[in-house]
Chain A
Amino acid sequence: MKKIDFMLLRMIQNSKSQFIAILVIIVTGIVVFTSMNMTSINMRNTVDDYYEEKRFPHLFLQAEAFPAQQIERASLHPDVEQVMGRIHTDGRLITEDPNQRVNLQILSTNSSDPLSWPTLLEGHLLQNPKEVLVVEQFANARNIGPQDPLRIQINGVVYSMEVAGIIANPEHIYLVESAQSLLPDNENFGVLYVEHLFAQRVTGLAGNYNELLVSYQPDTDEDFLVDRLKEQFRPFGVTQVVTRETHLSNAVIDLELENLQLMANSVPILFLLVAGLILMMMLGRMVKRDRMKIGILKAIGYSNRAVLMHYVKYALVAGLLGGAVGSVLGMALAGAMTRLYLDFFHIPMLTMNFYYSYIFIAMLLSATICILSGLLGARGVMKIAPADAMGSEIPKGGKRIFLENWTHFWKQLSFSQKLAIKNLFRNKKRSLFVLAGVSLTFGMMTFTNSMTSVMDDMMVKHFTEFQTMGYNISLKQPVEKHDLYDLPHIIQVEEDEMEGRLEAPFTLTNGHREASAVIIGLDPNSRFIHLKDPGSLPQKVPAEGILLSQNMAQVLDVKTGDWVEIQHYLPGRENEMVQVAGQVKQTLGMNGYMDLDYMGALLFEKGLVNGVYLDSDDPLIQQKLIKASNISSVMSSKDSQAVYQEYMTMTYLSIAFMVLFSGVLGFAIVYNATMVNLSSRELEFSSLRVMGFTRKEIFQLILKENNILLGVGILLGIPVGRWFSYYSSEAFTTDIYHLDLSPSLHAYVLATIYTILFILLAQLATYRKIQKLDFLKALKSRES
């Protein structure tokens, strides 16, 4: 090894605490980069393989009834690969607790089906009409196993069945009842598979199916095929077409993987840039400190390039070491993370590969950023002339700072405050760096903490402000509005505590843009649904026209006053044009809202309702309604909220992780900047010590400087936080939910507290260094 490289190693050894601090940042960034990228690839591959192997359909068409003999006609399309029909209906599980309502999605299956194959986890496949297959999540939550008896109610009739087996299916990787549910409630919602014939019989659809599953050839024009199929099956009343993209389970997985990819590519860059900036600052200081050494090296005959490379190698070692350690740890973590995801999503197979190229990419990425930082930080080497370096450095010319011109303000400051401010202006680059660090930390903290209020918005406000009914009851068949007055005979409910509504899925189009969503018909003076415009002002459904949720308006690219076409699914009914009357601020789901009578008249028949919102204190409401024949489902807001509360624990955990993550960045930036500050002013502080300053007083001087930066940094961090929130709102908003991450006052307060805490910790860590500094030795040294 060359002697100049020996010097490098000892240089690293002498600055090991700062070197380790930089390494930690690089390693963290690379761990996130490697683990998340590999998890993302492995997950994507696993999901793709799972879909392929288990024949996950590309399209799901729902209708009142498709005659079985018509199904095969779909396969006449050259693009269609496989097609099958099945029954898709709702039901409920009869449990020992009469008040418990457990909703079921019942699907029909057969071992010879060409699509949507189940993976048998326990037991056996269906052998007789009395058997059911149970989806794993539901079976686990309710402790259901093979051969267990199950009583299920379909269309008011209770059937005694036996569990044949427990299965997994690509359709139910993420098991939720509807987009509005958002979170799985595995104990109260499950999916069962029964034989086709049994399903046809119990739904009164003998010889028919009500769902068509289609897979198509690669490179198929999906929109074109959907249009053709809709046209072909129009006589049978196609109510809804679900593509893979809009399939709830797949959409959630896609979103999750996209977020993972987004994090994988943005977070590490942030970490590496911070590490690069710290390296730049450190090397800049080293070059200044080593002025004499550089002069000697040049005097001995080392070229500018050789000396510059000596310092760049310092950065390179950090980059390579950080890249190597980070990518190895990242790969180890990727395995665990992928398994965690697979467990969470109940995917019964794993396509796992170690992409060793990521070690190379990670090292290249971190080495490149570190080399650039090294070159920028140590470029001062080039300017040092050996002859000048031998003498003492000419002191920088002092000048007044602009604040001194504001005489009134300046006079108000104490001497030590003036000194601290002047010192900040003495090294503007370093001050700017710390400012940027504090602002970044505060911005990230703000964004992170605003997530709590967003989750609160989504999970709680949705049920306390947006919809305030106790129960949302769906009917199997629409009824006249006045028929609802029979309900008080069944359950304890006042007439003024219930309100009829219409709800039906439609496809809305604007030119080539299209969105499938549930349109809800409401009483204009609804006491249960509280619509707000995008400016958060209350609004009512207009007598005519439609209100669209913001995300839906965005998908359709329409504004108030535009017209959209509602495609009618009922046979013989024409499509309807309707004017957009405004937009609705809504966090969960994508919907359209109309006046109840207007919607009835336009799309069904005037005066009809197919559901009811109500408030009731009746403790036996579930039990009583279960027995009612025209009730399709009863959703309790309280139950849904309880499920959300459970998931909030997970959210708080991830928020705590993010706070820690942002704090480490802030800590590293302030710690390193203060260390460089200390080392560059060793001679100055030594003089102060000789003059009689205590170590504590010197620490307070640095503290004062940092606190000014902390204050200003937090102020500057407000727009940074807002920008992060705005960017994340845009990135995370999907068809399923609309996120408005605008930070609340609460988020700002928490962000301030956390930022101060982490910055204070960093300063305390430097206090230890001040205690250890040998000031008198520094005074004797010719270098400072």
Chain B
Amino acid sequence: MAILSTRNLSKSYQMGEVEVKALVDTTFQVEEGEFVVILGPSGSGKSTLLNLIGGMDTPTRGQVFLRDEEITAYNERELTAYRRNKVGFVFQFYNIMANLTARENVELATEISQNPLDIDQVMEAVDLSQRQDHFPSQLSGGEQQRVSIARAVAKNPEILLCDEPTGALDYNTGISILSLLKRVNREMGKTLLVITHNGDIARIADRVIKMRSGQIIEDILEKSPLNVEDIKW
């Protein structure tokens, strides 16, 4: 059974007198434990799709299901609970709290989730045990993104949504982050949805969903994804 599915998902915005169709009738499924990359150029609708899946925005039309629960039918309170317990977010610009230490940033999320993981183990897993008491301003970009990943993972969500997780990082740091995400997927068994415009990153995914102008143009199942170390950009 698919862990996540969308059905005719559409989202339009009104910009003055013009209606912008950010997402048009998008239908796809993600299986449990998959590493999925949504690939597309800027303005293709991938961030809108991620926001709708993450319960951060509501569609104009269509549905999103987590297993057999329709999250697009949720009210505000249920959406908050969904974001709290079922999904974890990793952002391009990390978006961690400047006035909390690395560990406190992770605790900020675990404090409100129902079934969090052990923070020490998570910090160990993201290789931040030695830096956990540092404030974001004392951490490198890669370390900040690790905090962001730790914060998302520590909630023990069913699915991890990553929006251009390497977009703000240099190549080497980007590779290390991707390795970490891959480990989260393989070793922790978390389903991962990563959106990116970088085609090379797509090569490590189990599935690649290509988007353009708000529509899915291709849904490819990779039979033998590459190891992170084997990709270059």
Contacts and interface: CB of A to CB of B under 8 A. Distances in A.
Interface of A: 2-4, 6-7, 10-11, 14, 292-293, 295-296, 298-304, 306, 385-388, 390, 782
B77 interface: yes
A298 B91 CA distance: 14
B76 interface: yes
Nearest to B77: A303
A3 B84 contact: no
Interface stretch (B50-58, B66-74, B182-190, B212-220): B50-58
Given A6-B104, A7-B99, A298-B56, A782 B93 contact: yes
Contacts of A299: 54, 56, 83, 89
B97 A7 contact: yes
Nearest to B110: A3
A300 B109 contact: yes
Given A3-B108, A300-B151, A387-B51, 20 more contacts: A2-B111, A3-B104, A4-B111, A6-B100, A6-B104, A10-B99, A14-B99, A298-B56, A300-B84, A301-B84, A301-B85, A301-B112, A301-B155, A302-B84, A303-B80, A304-B80, A306-B112, A386-B51, A390-B56, A782-B93
Contacts of B96: 296
A383 to B, nearest CB: 12
B3 interface: no
Contacts of A293: 95, 97
A302 B56 contact: no
A390 B107 CA distance: 21
Contacts of A388: 57
B100 A387 contact: no
B56 A296 contact: no
Most buried by A among B84, B112, B113, B155: B112
Contacts of A14: 99
Contacts of A292: 95
Given A4-B108, A11-B99, A302 B91 contact: no
Contacts, number: 77
A301 B95 contact: no
Interface in B91-124: 91, 93, 95-97, 99-100, 104-105, 107-109, 111-113
Contact of B112 (A295, A302, A390, A782): A302
Nearest to B152: A300
Contacts of A385: 56-57
Nearest to A390: B91
Given A10-B99, A11-B99, A385-B56, A300 B108 contact: yes
A72 to B, nearest CB: 83
A530 B81 CA distance: 83
Interface of B: 51, 54, 56-57, 76-77, 80-81, 83-85, 89, 91, 93, 95-97, 99-100, 104-105, 107-109, 111-113, 151, 155, 163
28 contacts: A3-B105, A3-B111, A4-B111, A7-B97, A7-B99, A7-B108, A11-B99, A292-B95, A293-B95, A293-B97, A295-B95, A296-B95, A298-B56, A298-B80, A299-B56, A299-B89, A300-B83, A301-B80, A301-B85, A301-B109, A301-B113, A301-B155, A302-B84, A302-B112, A386-B56, A386-B57, A387-B54, A390-B163
A387 B113 contact: no
Nearest to B135: A10
User: When A and B form their complex, which 9 residue pairs have the shortest distance between CB atoms, in order from nearest?
Assistant: A301-B84, A10-B99, A387-B57, A387-B51, A387-B56, A3-B108, A386-B56, A301-B83, A303-B80
A296 B97 CA distance: 9
Nearest to A301: B84
Nearest to A397: B16
Contacts of B77: 303
Most buried by A among B76, B99, B105: B99
Contact of A3 (B80, B93, B100): B100
B68 to A, nearest CB: 21
A interface, over-half SS: helix
Most buried by A among B93, B95, B109: B95
Most buried by B among A7, A304, A385: A7
B107 A3 contact: yes
Contacts of A4: 108, 111
A49 B83 CA distance: 66
A11 to B, nearest CB: 7
A776 to B, nearest CB: 15
Contacts of A782: 93
Nearest to A296: B95
Contact of A304 (B57, B76, B89, B99): B76
Most buried by B among A4, A296, A298, A385: A296
B229 to A, nearest CB: 31
A111 to B, nearest CB: 76
Contacts of B93: 782
Contacts of A386: 51, 56-57, 83
A2 B107 CA distance: 9
B99 A302 contact: no
A6 B81 CA distance: 23
B107 to A, nearest CB: 5
Contacts of B105: 3
A10 B100 contact: yes
A255 to B, nearest CB: 54
Contacts of A10: 99-100
Contacts of B108: 3-4, 7, 300
Nearest to B80: A303
A327 to B, nearest CB: 30
A112 B182 CA distance: 104
Contacts of A3: 100, 104-105, 107-108, 111
Contacts of A303: 77, 80
A293 B188 CA distance: 28
A292 B95 CA distance: 8
A300 B150 CA distance: 12
B141 to A, nearest CB: 13
A6 B108 CA distance: 9
Contacts of B100: 3, 6-7, 10
A306 B151 CA distance: 19
Contacts of A2: 111
Nearest to A782: B93
A293 B93 CA distance: 12
A157 to B, nearest CB: 88
Nearest to B113: A301
Nearest to A304: B76
A671 to B, nearest CB: 24
B23 to A, nearest CB: 12
A295 B56 CA distance: 9
A7 B80 CA distance: 20
A388 to B, nearest CB: 8
B119 to A, nearest CB: 11
A457 to B, nearest CB: 58
Contacts of B51: 386-387, 390
Contacts of A304: 76, 80
A301 B99 contact: no
B164 to A, nearest CB: 11
Contacts of A302: 80, 84, 112
